[in-house]
Structure 1
Amino acid sequence: MYKIRSTTAILLGAFMLALTACKTYQKVPYFRNIPADSSVYSQGRVIPTVSYQALKIKPDDLLGITITTLDNSTAVLTEAVTRPQSGPGGVVSQAGNGFLVSAAGTIELPLLGTLQVSGSTTEQIKTQIQARAITYYKNPVVNVRLMNFKVTVLGEVGRPGTYFVNGEKATLLDALGLAGDLTIYGNRRNVLLLRDADGKQKSIRFDLNNGQALTSPYLYLQQNDVVYVEPGKAKAAANNAARTQTIAIVGSIISVLIVALTRIR
């Protein structure tokens, strides 16, 4: 009778453990509500996502600006004003460390003067510089890029830290990929995005178990965004289990020492 009860208890425990494991697993995969039927595997499926909006330049951003001209007759003028690097077929002028956008939202370019850039995209700034550069250079080619597009990823990820993004188009998933993805303990249902919005911190929550996260207007990141992945309950449980195990080991050692001392006496 005792053996039957013991076997029943073991099977019940195993069943409860399997249910718990299944429930925990459901919190791990991304976008679980996106169907995975046979047609998706063979034909694919279009998933509605938010459209990308070009980044707007802000004060304290750093812009890399390059003006290229093939007109060798302007070499003296270019060298005198913008310290170009000579190359085959022409002269290249480039800001070595970039141009810092002032608190007023402006940059100061040699020869071209002051430009208001805050609130504009790099493409709009390029057009603005092109319009001025054509006065001094023959057929100038202008390139403008954002040099300090960085995001910080903290919490339960493989490699927490601050990462610089190449280009200007990066999503929350890109940032998590740079940081080594979420650990098994990361709470995928409550990923926090912190963003500076006109001097105020704005917080946005993402549920990565749900495909609706792909439609969020905050999916595409902006410069200086912070992503925080909070630990799930499993992390706390693991820490508690480790602590309990340590306490049990220490208790056992103390018990052995007490018994040994008692026998010695």
Structure 2
Amino acid sequence: MKKIALSIILLPLLIFQSCTTKKQMLYLQDLDRYTNTTINYASPVIQPNDILKIDVGDLNPIVAAPFNMNTGSTNSQNSVDMMKLTGYLVNPQGTIMMPILNEVKVGGLTPANAEIKIKERLINENYLVNPTVLVRVLNNKFTILGEVNSPGVINFSEESISLLDAIGLAKDLTYSAIRKDIKLIREVDGKRMVYHVDLTTAAWMSNPNFRIRQNDVIVVTPNTLKVNSGGLIKDPLQVLGIAASLTAVILLIVK
């Protein structure tokens, strides 16, 4: 009698648990089909609220000095934070205010193109003869929410990172995450774009739109079991533990 009761209770649970298949869980299942494919990169553009570090150089450092902000030493994290506080904040119109040059329009330009624009102004306005200009965004960050082990706002120092890098920085997806529909939200030219990524295939990896850029938001949706549980069950495997406890109680009652 006990074996029959145990089978009746556990069989539906085991069938339910098996509904989460390997095809729903494993990343990049067709990765071998995309080996040796070309990797495409697209440089992100400068947007409002970016904080820029701009270094102007010349063979004679004295003549270049007036075009640089004094940010002090860069040997510690405190210095990085100080550079953010004293860096060039891009206003909603996409402009910054530089010493002597005054207003410079950089919004919508890549950092490399901003370097060219500033260099041309320095030469054309007869300030410097052969300057060097370095532009870098100091406050690169993305937000990742939902079914990841460490959600939140995460900083990165590169111009862009891969989506897999971003998920790795968030300590991977949870068991309850839907891997076939990761949502990537991005603002482009004043418009909000939403991309959908299926992590079970590698088809998306060559698309430069799916590299994570400044201010991107990643949303990972929970599966049906997690939604229906109202968040009480964080891992479907907990169902089996609860079922085992209920089975033990039922068997004691039957006995």
Q: Using the alignment, how far apart are the partners of 2:84 and 2:242 within structure 1?
A: 59
Contact 2:56 2:68 survives alignment (8 Å):
no
**Greater C-alpha Rg:** 1
- Output the CA distance in 2 between the equivalents of 1:184 and 1:198: 36
Identity of aligned residues (%): 31
Contact preservation (8 Å) 2:45, 2:107 = yes
Opposite residue 27 of structure 1, the aligned amino acid is Q
Amino acid paired to 1:118:
G
RMSD, matched Cα: 3.8
1:215-250 superposed Cα distances (whole Å, 9 cap, x missing partner): 4452122321100111123435774666x959x88x
Deviation for aligned residue 1:64:
0.9
Residue matched to 1:46: 36
- Separation in 2 of the partners of 1:55 and 1:191? 21
Aligned counterpart, 1:181? 172
Paired residues of 2:160 and 2:214 also in contact (CA < 8 A): no
Task: Give the aligned residue type for 2:56.
Answer: I
1:5-39: CA deviation from partner (whole Å, max 9, x where unpaired): 95xx959x769937953852331111112348xxx
Q: Report if the CA contact (8 A) 2:43-2:110 is conserved.
A: yes
Distance 1:212 1:116 in 2: 37
Distance 1:72 1:161, change over 3 A: closer
Where do residues 153-192 of structure 1 align in structure 2 (5 Å cutoff)? 153-192=144-183
Name which of 148, 163, 185 aligns with 2:139: 148
Aligned ranges for residues 192-203 of structure 1 at < 5 Å?
Answer: 192-203=183-194
Report the counterpart of residue 97 of structure 2 in structure 1: 108
Compared with structure 1, are the counterparts of its residues 47 and 183 closer, same or farther at alpha carbon in structure 2 (3 Å cutoff)?
A: farther
| Aligned equivalent of 2:52, options 63, 67, 87 | 63
Residues 131 and 204 of structure 1: is their aligned pair in 2 closer, same or farther, counting only changes over 3 Å? same
Residue type of the alignment partner of 1:32: Q
Deviates more, 1:223-232 or 1:59-68: 59-68
> Structure 2: where are the runs of 5+ without partners?
74-82, 250-255
Cα separation, 1, equivalents of 2:49 and 2:71: 26
**Higher mean C-alpha displacement, 111-120 vs 154-163:** 111-120
For residue 191 of structure 1, give the secondary structure of its aligned residue in structure 2: strand
CA shift, 1:173, in A, is 1.6
Matches within 5 A, 1:83-122: 84=70, 97-122=86-111
Q: 1:235 aligns with which of 204, 226, 233?
A: 226
Give the distance between the partners of 1:62 and 1:147, measured in 2 at CA. 6
- Looking at structure 2, the residues matched to 83 and 16 of structure 1 have their Cα atoms a distance apart, in angstroms, of 65
- Distance in 2 (CA, whole Å) between partners of 1:203 and 1:235 is 24
Q: What SS does the aligned partner of 2:18 have?
A: helix
Please, which runs of 5 or more residues in structure 1 have no aligned partner?
37-43, 88-93, 253-265
Aligned to 2:29: 32
Query: In terms of mean alpha carbon deviation, does 133-142 or 64-73 score higher?
Result: 133-142
Q: Structure 2: how far apart are the matches of 1:206 and 1:86?
A: 43
Q: 1:133 to 1:84 in 2, by over 3 A?
A: farther
**Bigger mean CA offset, 106-115 vs 125-134:** 125-134
**Does structure 2 conserve the Cα–Cα contact (< 8 Å) formed by 1:71 and 1:137?**
no
**Superposed displacement of residue 162, structure 1:** 0.6
Asked whether the 8 Å contact 1:150–1:223 carries over to 2, the reply is yes
Aligned residues: 227
- Structure 1: distance between partners of 2:15 and 2:108: 54
